Amino acid sequence: MMKSALLSVVVALAAQQVSGHATFQQLWVDGSTCVRLPSSNSPVTDVSGTAVRCNGRGGVPGKCPVVAGQTVTVEMHQQNGDRSCGSEAIGGAHYGPLMVYLSKVSDASTADGSSGWFKIFQDSWSPKSGAGSGDDDNWGTKDLNTCCGRMNVKIPSDVAAGDYLLRAEVIALHTAASSGGAQFYMSCYQLTITGGGSASPALVQFPGAYKASDPGIMVNIHAALNTYVAPGPTVVAGGTTKSAGAACVGVEAGKSTGPAVTQTATASPPTNTGGGSTPGDGGCTAVKYQQCGGDTYTGCTTCESGTKCSPVSPPYYSQCV
């Protein structure tokens, strides 16, 4: 990576209300912030609505400066301010792909996401030897957990200069065996890209790029998978397709650019900010929508008052509802 491109873009994902639910919360560049912060950490589940563009959020004043060809770093964490490498970036067995899109716009602070998008990054799925089900395979979300919540994303060097929306997205597939079960977590970030070239990639629309019946959206990952194809278009030339399960490198391992990260063998419990596990008689209590059971699950199994632990994808996943 060129020295002039050593700029850190941090995308933090905060589970402020429900453990496992989350929001892409911040994108920082040299002290600038340009995130369209979602109103809650609940997922989008309807791919036919306009909320799938930018989680239903409109523009904010700030724009983050980025140079074409630069590698930035997407960062995801469950708790706002918790940057510990010992905590899962996204928990609750929320396995699925990570994708990043760009949309060229006239003014990133006012664009509504209807201009069309192209995919610049994907970390999806790969089979794992000896896996008995898709849960045991390699996934983009597992890479985030392994790499301290960080993922390197290169801005293609040939994109035209100008304003863009960057859309970072995780699709959680733990309840995706039926239509409408997939959970989409995304936020948009307002960028001004300099340098670049004159590329004019093919575009897709949101809504439109995804259908609820797409095999990468309606899929039972609790059964054995022979293949998995992430939804949406292929990554454009000059973008990045990461092999799920590949080793962490550079900033992903906390050795290069970006804010310092302390590698720890164990993490202190994250601060409860309105969701997650709370102390209970003789153990702990899971709040509404938190995982409470399933194969290999070892967390809280007692649900808060007014909810009960119900199987969602038996026998693999149960949550408090």
For 303, the domain range is: 285-320
Question: CB count, 10 Å around CB of 131?
Answer: 13
8-state DSSP, 268: P
Measured CA to CA, the distance from residue 185 to residue 11 in angstroms comes to: 13
pLDDT at 4: 22
Measured CA to CA, the distance from residue 1 to residue 61 in angstroms comes to: 30
71 by Cβ neighbours in 10 Å (0-12 / 13-18 / 19+) ranks as buried
In a domain, 261, yes or no: no
Is 168 in the same domain as 300?
no
In a domain, 95, yes or no: yes
Measured CA to CA, the distance from residue 188 to residue 208 in angstroms comes to: 17
- Greater model confidence, 59 or 148: 59
- Say if residue 25's pLDDT is above 90: no
pLDDT at 14: 33
In a domain, 154, yes or no: yes
* Total number of domains constituting the chain: 2
Question: CB count, 10 Å around CB of 225?
Answer: 18
What is the chain's Cα-based Rg? 19
pLDDT at 312: 63
Q: Contact at 8 Å (CB) between 38 and 23?
A: yes
In a domain, 1, yes or no: no
pLDDT tens for each residue of 44-95: 999 999 999 999 999 999 898 999 998 877 777 776 566 677 778 788 899 9
Q: Which of 236, 253, 270 is the last residue of a domain?
A: 253
Is 193 in the same domain as 296?
no
Is 197 in the same domain as 306?
no
Is 247 in the same domain as 294?
no
Share the mean pLDDT of the chain: 79
In a domain, 279, yes or no: no
For residue 120, what is the domain's CATH number?
Answer: 2.70.50.70
pLDDT at 90: 82
Report the alpha-carbon angle 228-233-238, nearest 5: 105
Please give the model's pTM, rounded to 2 decimal places.
0.76
Is 306 in the same domain as 171?
no
Q: Which of 208, 229, 253 is the last residue of a domain?
A: 253
- Say if residue 12's pLDDT is above 50: no
Across 217-231, 262-276, 286-300, 301-315, least confident range: 262-276
Beta bridge partners of 193: 66, 162
Mean pLDDT of 6-14: 37
Is 247 in the same domain as 300?
no
Q: Which of 211, 238, 253 is the last residue of a domain?
A: 253
Is 164 in the same domain as 295?
no
State CA 93 to chain mean position distance: 13
230 by Cβ neighbours in 10 Å (0-12 / 13-18 / 19+) ranks as buried
pLDDT at 143: 93
